[in-house]
Structure 1
Amino acid sequence: MPANTPDALQHDGRDLVVVLHGVGVTCRWMSRIARAVEEAGYRVVNRTYPSRKLPLEKLGAQWLPRLLLENGAAEAPRIHFVTHSMGGIVVRLWLRECGDCLPKNLGRIVMIAPPNHGSELPDRLRGFPPFHWFTGVNGPRLGTGDDSLPRQLSLKAFPKGAELGIIAGNRTLNPLFSHWIKRESDGTVSVASTRLDGMCDHIVMPHSHTGILLSRPVAAQAVLFLREGKFDRTVP
């Protein structure tokens, strides 16, 4: 039986790690992190998803469950996630759909630069056509206003039984974006917005919102949290 069929994957024997990119890009942006996780001995699924076209609720309630089913997640010893930016919101929506029936094999979740309380950039760029082209139907919903989906999710505590580690960046490449955010940030998401009640650990690293994905130390910290449930601040 080919190794990439669902039936074969169900009997792989390794923990499964699902890697999710942010809005408007592809899975290639997660390649360095996915490779580091795979080299650490995990089975990795890193797929491009319709982040611009499919509403967030459908990504969390339909697309992600289907991906998990196709890759034998229920049969894996444990299932973990490593996400970037909006990918973390997709996982939070999936967890909301699970309710009190979280998978028994749910492991650890690493969110990299997640807008857990929204970002000021969608607030400012709502009327800017290129922003809508790049982020599609979901970008405007990641702001900080009353219609912010991340803020609505934050009204409920992160579910118990899911270990969460968050990596934030604090370097910015765009002075205008920094002016809009006004707080320590990665140029897109403030450090404060990445935090979430119920998280197990949080670390700030010197990278921009996109540059954080190219960092070997960031990939190493993600692997460390998957293994041990904590980050290591002694590692440069």
Structure 2
Amino acid sequence: MKWKVSMAILTALALVGCSKPEIETVDSELNAHHLDQVVVVHGLARSAWSMQNMSKSIAKQGYQVCVVNYPTLRQPIENTLAESAKELSRCIDEFNHSKNLVTNQSKIHFVGHSLGGLVIRSYLAQHPDFVDSSEMGKVVFVGTPNHGSDVADFFSDTWMLSLVGGTAESLTTSPNSFPNSLPNPNYDFGVIAGTQSYPVFSGMFSKSNDGLVSVESTKLDGMRDFIEVDIKHDRLRRDPYVTSLVLNFIETDKFESK
């Protein structure tokens, strides 16, 4: 019994994580080489604060950075998408204002960790005019469960997943789940997948995974580039190497030089 309780606690912590409510503000920086903007979107049970390592590193390269903050815990997926859409629109509006002061050639790029990637996909699917505009840049999905999560499947019939809320419950691999209901991207995008699992979740996967998302689930038709890194799911959002890959893709359409 004690073992089962301990496993449940570890599972809940690993699935939900710990987040801080503070929003990390990243000052915009411009230089002669980078006049583009990058919108950074966090994942489940996180906040804008959780993306500060990545966002600060991107800003240091001269990009304007806007970090989206939206609720995910104990939220229906509809509310999560509505609130994140408001934030994404805010970022784009702010960038358009600064762009008019600088250049009409700059682009807006998007980077999403885990659920953040699905939020971006949903938003862009609802804004085809933006996707077709000259403003649309590139998108990087980092550990995104584009076809759902095996962990969500494992806990789908338990109180644990329902306790986290409807957004978490929507992330299964079912054909009718939220991830699998999204249209395939029609813009330039790349995918980064982790391959280092958590021991507590290892038995839930039959193939390579980052502890929460299988490598196969991250893949989408039309990827301009794809790379696997030996990093756990949560670490992907703050690992310097991953951030360097994101920057490389934005600049060159490739994660690494051949």
* Shared fold per TM-score greater than 0.5: yes
Q: Shift in Å at residue 66 of structure 1?
A: 3.6
TM-score, with structure 2 as normaliser: 0.77
Q: Shift in Å at residue 65 of structure 1?
A: 2.2
Q: Shift in Å at residue 199 of structure 1?
A: 1.3
1:164 to 189, 199, 202: 189
Deviations 1:141-162 (Å, cap 9, x if unpaired)?
Answer: 1111133111111xx3321xx2
Please say which of residues 191-200 and 71-80 is displaced more in the overlay.
71-80
Deviations 1:41-87 (Å, cap 9, x if unpaired)?
Answer: 10111132112336244246544224422x23476311001110000
Gaps of 5+ in 2: 1-24, 100-105
- Corresponding residue for residue 152 of structure 1: 181
- Corresponding residue for residue 205 of structure 1: 229
- Corresponding residue for residue 92 of structure 2: 68
Please say which of residues 118-127 and 78-87 is displaced more in the overlay.
118-127
Q: CA RMSD in A?
A: 2.4
Quick check: which has more Rg, 1 or 2?
2
Contact 2:208/2:215, CA 8 A, preserved across alignment: yes
Change (3 A) 1:125 1:233: farther
- Corresponding residue for residue 46 of structure 2: 25
- Corresponding residue for residue 111 of structure 2: 82
Contact 1:113/1:189, CA 8 A, preserved across alignment: yes
2:154 to 124, 128, 150: 124
Q: Shift in Å at residue 112 of structure 1?
A: 0.5
Contact 1:16/1:73, CA 8 A, preserved across alignment: no
For 2:135 and 2:128, how far apart are their aligned partners in 1?
Answer: 15
2:160 is the counterpart of 1:139: no
Change (3 A) 1:227 1:101: closer
Contact 2:124/2:130, CA 8 A, preserved across alignment: no
- Corresponding residue for residue 220 of structure 1: 244
Please say which of residues 179-188 and 93-102 is displaced more in the overlay.
93-102
For 1:58 and 1:15, how far apart are their aligned partners in 2?
Answer: 26
Amino acid at match of 2:168: G
Deviations 1:119-158 (Å, cap 9, x if unpaired)?
Answer: 1111221233343334x221111111133111111xx332
How many aligned positions are there? 218
For 1:201 and 1:95, how far apart are their aligned partners in 2?
Answer: 19
Please say which of residues 208-217 and 52-61 is displaced more in the overlay.
52-61
Q: How does 1:110-121 map to 2 (within 5 A)?
A: 110-121=140-151
For 2:96 and 2:199, how far apart are their aligned partners in 1?
Answer: 40
> Identity across aligned pairs (percent)?
30
Contact 1:60/1:93, CA 8 A, preserved across alignment: no
Deviations 1:21-59 (Å, cap 9, x if unpaired)?
Answer: 001111222111111111111011113211233624424
**RCO higher in 1 or 2 (8 Å CA, sep ≥ 6)?**
1
Gaps of 5+ in 1: none
Contact 1:167/1:203, CA 8 A, preserved across alignment: yes
For 2:216 and 2:257, how far apart are their aligned partners in 1?
Answer: 19
For 1:211 and 1:168, how far apart are their aligned partners in 2?
Answer: 12
